[in-house]
A and B are shown apart, each in its own frame.
Chain A
Amino acid sequence: MRIVVLGVGNTLLSDEGIGVRAIEKLQQDYDLPPEVVIIDGGTTGMEMLDDLSNADHIIILDAVRGGRAPASIIVLIGEQVPVFFKTKLSPHQIGLSDVLATLAFIGEQPGGVTVIGVEPVSLETGMELTPQVKARLPELMELVVTELHELGVAIKRKVPVAA
């Protein structure tokens, strides 16, 4: 089994970087078994094709603009992941959704996709998350842990090293 936890977003635009910040924290706080692969996708596209191909499941952590209250958490599963139905002007726009569509076309699509997102408060230039979004990180971790558990993988917090 191979489950990919993918953090995406631009870390230079404050809350846009929540996905990347979340996987950093996940790696810092948890012991992860080999079947869980963590990828810092940043804002890349096709470079991720190989890492994402034939995954049993992909958990995507990202900023999601869903018209909800700022800093609220959104979980999208299955049909709710708007992968194939984006309005596009031309076929020249490769982002994460296109990478997933490409995997589907070549028959290497993941067994399932879950998006765990946070509604951004600010997309201003800056390397820090806003305090409101940062405060949701523990809850975000819980959601990832629960999701992994449902997929059959138990992960545990690292035992803090005694001083």
Chain B
Amino acid sequence: MGKRITIDPITRIEGHLRVDCEVNNGKVSKAWASGQMWRGVEQILLGHDARDAWAITQRICGVCTTVHAITSVRAVENALQMEVPLNAQYIRNLIITAHAIHDHVVHFYHLSALDWVDVVSALKADPGKTAALAASLSNWSGNSKQEFTKVKERLTGFVGTGQLGIFTNGYWGHPAMKLPPEVNLLAVTHYLQALEIQRYASKIVSILGSKSPHIQNMAVGGVSNPIATDSQSVLTVERLMAVKEWIDKLNDFIKNVYLVDVAAIGAFYADWTKIGAGVTDYLCVPDLPLDTKGTKFALPGGFIKAGDLASIKPIASFNDKYFRDGVQESVKHSWYKGGKGALHPFKGETIPNYTDFQDDGKYSWVKSPTFYGNPAQVGPLSRVLAMAAQNHAPTLKYLTGVLDTAGAIAKTKIPLAAVHSTIGRHAARAVSCAVQVDELANQWNLLVENIAKGDTATFNKPVFPKGEASGVGFHEAPRGVLSHWVVLKDGKITNYQCVVPTTWNAAPRNEGDVPGPYEASLLNTPVADAERPLEVLRTVHSFDPCLACAVHVLDAEGNPVVQVKAL
């Protein structure tokens, strides 16, 4: 038997994710992904008024507040078969896309780029050469020699004090770090510029959602933003113009920096196009509804079998039967009472049954969802592939662009198949982000045009029937397919199940003992140094992990919050 590595937690942003790997001959031979905290939010919702569910569910998660709010109102609207006014759809679509852009930019630059970028190596860079390299890739205004010199000086000062602050405990100097100093300096500079840029995406969510970080404007039946062109207190022309200005700034950064960086960094890590594919059944739902009923969407969704784009089965409406009937969750390897086999979410049960960490038994608080019996990968890669398979022109344009740029730098042709990989998930996230920033501008135009027609409706009052009703709301969230499943009786919640993106990806083994996407993707990942398992983190982080149960009690005792055990 080989070495066993335990990483716990993988990320602190959302509760606790623990990953265990068995390493043989320098490669992962077996992996377990385990959610270390019970997500009991479903129990809290029982008995509540269905109109309040969104405000409660947006507290599930510290990163994805808006997405749970949106999905929750969609679920209740679906149960009531309600229509939603066009303005409300557009405003929600703007919030959705601004949030997604925020999430993708922050994920790439601030949560995962430092898996690939060596901050300390950037100190050796020549700012002049960095500027020359940058100029060959893009005409971004922040790429001057002066700017790179400034960042290098600031970094030198920071490292000189011995306090790396935000860069503490990175894997600096790790043998798997491959970028030349100039590329590292370029990336660190963009890391800092991205801190500025992400603020614009936050501001859009904040203005349209009436408050940030928790939006206040959602309602079953629409949104609570009154629209008036002549009042200061509501959504005014002035505010809409400010939003447009921020959209333009985001667009500039994403097209001229993010897309380019992903291609450039990817070109130096070509070996990572062969690592981390894992589950290649891809699930994506359509989003950005363009009508009141949710039958037309700006971004298509569907299911792809075994990575074959020709196999695409579209998911076409909020009432899509193929999606609704396909989802089940197993608790055979999760810390819940089971014995009934995999259950559809309407019948789902969440009764805790903690054992210990049992390699072949129960080992996670995460349930194991399946689509027609098999695990499915969700997230930007699924999204981009589902859109590409349906010939979504902007997706094809940006996807080809990234592959061509990376190929030009690496001086080799990079095929589409390269995206089924760890680095491919990062490329897909950037492509998705470019598509979304185009949609942000498009949805803004649609909203402004619709208001100009004299339509100011934003809300339809929900009417709750006596007796039982059930519905599913889905949303293509930044991390992938999010669905809320609600059963109502007389307007009160009697069952509520959230099947979140990280549940799909971090799923433990299922009813048939088949590993979930994280677990499958880690197989054969090389590990150079078991004490510093950077490669494992690279693959897990490429999914943008987020376990829906944030706890962050401040630890005044200074206890270590992380352990890496290599046994």
Contact B551 A13, beta carbon cutoff 8 Å? yes
Q: Could you tell me the distance between the alpha carbons of A113 and B40 in the complex, rounded to whole angstroms?
A: 33
Known: A46-B102, A65-B554. 6 other contacts (CB 8 A): A16-B551, A42-B213, A50-B202, A92-B541, A101-B165, A125-B44
**A66 near B: Cβ within 8 Å?**
yes
Chain B residues near A46: list those with CB within 8 A.
102, 106, 110, 198, 202
Q: Which of A83-130 contact B (CB under 8 A)?
A: 84-98, 101-102, 104-106, 115, 117, 120, 123, 125-127
Contact A84 B61, beta carbon cutoff 8 Å? no
Shortest 9 CB-CB contacts between residues of A and residues of B: A43-B62, A43-B550, A125-B40, A66-B556, A93-B12, A44-B213, A89-B562, A47-B213, A87-B560
Closest approach, in angstroms, between the C-beta of A33 and any C-beta of chain B? 20
6 intermolecular pairs with C-beta atoms under 8 Å apart? A9-B552, A44-B65, A47-B102, A90-B537, A91-B167, A105-B165
Contact B12 A126, beta carbon cutoff 8 Å? no
Chain B residues near A91: list those with CB within 8 A.
114, 166-170
Cβ-closest chain A residue relative to B165:
A101
Chain B residues near A85: list those with CB within 8 A.
558
**B356 near A: Cβ within 8 Å?**
no
Q: Could you tell me the distance between the alpha carbons of A93 and B107 in the complex, rounded to whole angstroms?
A: 10
| Selected contact of B110 from candidates A13, A40, A94, CB within 8 Å | A94
Cβ-closest chain B residue relative to A44:
B213
Chain A residues near B555: list those with CB within 8 A.
64-66, 82, 86
Chain A interface size band reads: 35 or more
Count contacts between A and B, CB distance < 8 Å: 172
**A49 near B: Cβ within 8 Å?**
yes
Chain A residues near B553: list those with CB within 8 A.
16, 62-65, 120, 123
Contact A76 B560, beta carbon cutoff 8 Å? no
Closest approach, in angstroms, between the C-beta of B264 and any C-beta of chain A? 20
Interface residues of A (CB under 8 A from B): 8-13, 16, 40-51, 62-67, 74, 76, 80, 82, 84-98, 101-102, 104-106, 115, 117, 120, 123, 125-127
Residue interface mask B540-564, A partner, CB < 8 A = 1: 0100000001111111111111101
Cβ-closest chain B residue relative to A48:
B213
Q: Could you tell me the distance between the alpha carbons of A120 and B102 in the complex, rounded to whole angstroms?
A: 32
Closest approach, in angstroms, between the C-beta of A30 and any C-beta of chain B? 19
Closest approach, in angstroms, between the C-beta of A162 and any C-beta of chain B? 29
**B60 near A: Cβ within 8 Å?**
yes
Contact A92 B195, beta carbon cutoff 8 Å? no
